């Protein structure tokens, strides 16, 4: 069953068209990796799905309902949570305070502070440390945990590994795999192609605002994705121009 769909979505930043006629769908429990070069439109697409950016045209449909005009905070209550690029934690609040604050904006469910600590064990001894004093990997784990505290049905992750040391990336992805195994639906923007291909069920590549390649991760080779990534060959399974 389709849980999330975007249909012919266009989004702009002033005169710049960042997302062009994008159509995507996700089933419950699926992990979709969205890849592409800087400026391809990935972040704008995630922000539009989350309600933080208003589209020019097209629709966002969640669990069969058109939510295109729904505000961002209402989408959180419906079950859509965004972990933005840069994490954007409350630097002067502790880890536990960041988590608890997010719970007020979400919906009832299984995620609690204790469950987040079990999923991200590196955070447990840091409960009372201010977020501004955390390492990059610890901040990313806190940001993902904060989103989980809203009990989302779809988790939107923007640039999970960006700016993190390799050991921090390993720790974050180990926890992500446990989320994926538990059936969490995840739309993941990731620059690291190897990471994206290793965790996703499906991969979609954006170029100049369009989806130019999409298909099962098991059928994708790194070479094929790189060709689409740089526009060397515009092949697609969703009808984009060849």
Q: What is the pLDDT of residue 87?
A: 78
CATH superfamily to which 2-229 belongs:
P-loop containing nucleotide triphosphate hydrolases (3.40.50.300)
Q: Which contiguous run of DSSP H or E holds residue 221?
A: none
CA–CA gap between residue 59 and residue 25 (Å, rounded): 12
Give the three-state DSSP class for 155: strand
Could you list the pLDDT tens digit for every one of the 242 residues in the chain? 899 999 999 999 998 999 999 999 999 999 999 999 989 999 999 999 999 999 999 999 999 999 999 999 999 999 999 999 877 899 999 999 999 999 988 888 999 999 999 999 999 999 999 999 999 999 999 999 999 999 999 999 998 888 888 888 888 899 889 899 989 999 999 888 888 888 999 999 999 999 999 999 999 888 899 899 888 754 444 433 32
Measure Cα distances from 164 to 92, 98, 168, 169, 206 in Å: 21, 20, 6, 6, 23
CA–CA gap between residue 199 and residue 194 (Å, rounded): 9
94 forms beta bridges with 130
Cβ pair 113, 151 in contact under 8 A: no
pTM over the 0.85 mark: yes
Q: What is the pLDDT of residue 238?
A: 44
Q: Which of these, 228, 204, 187, 171, lies nearest to 22 by C-alpha position? A: 204
Phi, psi of 134 (to 5 degrees): -85, 155
CA–CA gap between residue 196 and residue 192 (Å, rounded): 6
What is the secondary structure of 11-55 as a DSSP string?
A: EEETTEEEEEEEEEEEETT-EEEEE--TTSSHHHHHHHHHTSS--
């Amino acid at each position: 069953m389709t849980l999330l769909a975007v249909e012919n979505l266009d989004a702009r930043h002033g005169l710049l068209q960042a997302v062009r006629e994008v159509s995507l769908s996700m089933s419950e429990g699926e992990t979709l990796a969205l890849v592409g070069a800087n400026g391809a439109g990935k972040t704008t697409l995630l922000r539009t799905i989350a309600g933080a950016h208003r589209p020019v045209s097209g629709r966002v449909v969640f669990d069969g309902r058109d939510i295109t005009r729904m505000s961002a905070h209402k989408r959180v209550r419906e079950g859509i949570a965004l972990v933005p690029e840069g994490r954007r934690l409350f630097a002067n609040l502790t880890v536990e305070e960041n988590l608890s604050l997010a719970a007020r904006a979400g919906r009832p469910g299984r995620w609690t502070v204790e469950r987040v600590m079990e999923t991200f064990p590196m955070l447990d001894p840091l409960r009372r440390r201010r977020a501004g004093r955390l390492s990059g990997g610890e901040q990313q784990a806190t940001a993902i945990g904060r989103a989980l505290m809203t009990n989302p049905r779809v988790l939107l992750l923007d640039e999970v590994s960006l700016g993190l040391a390799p050991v921090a990336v390993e720790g974050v992805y180990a926890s992500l795999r446990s989320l994926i195994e538990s059936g969490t639906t995840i739309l993941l923007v990731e620059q690291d192609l190897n990471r994206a291909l290793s965790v996703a069920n499906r991969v979609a590549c954006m170029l100049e605002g369009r989806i130019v390649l999409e298909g099962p991760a098991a059928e994708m080779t790194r070479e094929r994705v790189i060709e689409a990534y740089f526009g060397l060959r515009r092949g697609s399974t969703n009808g984009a121009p060849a």
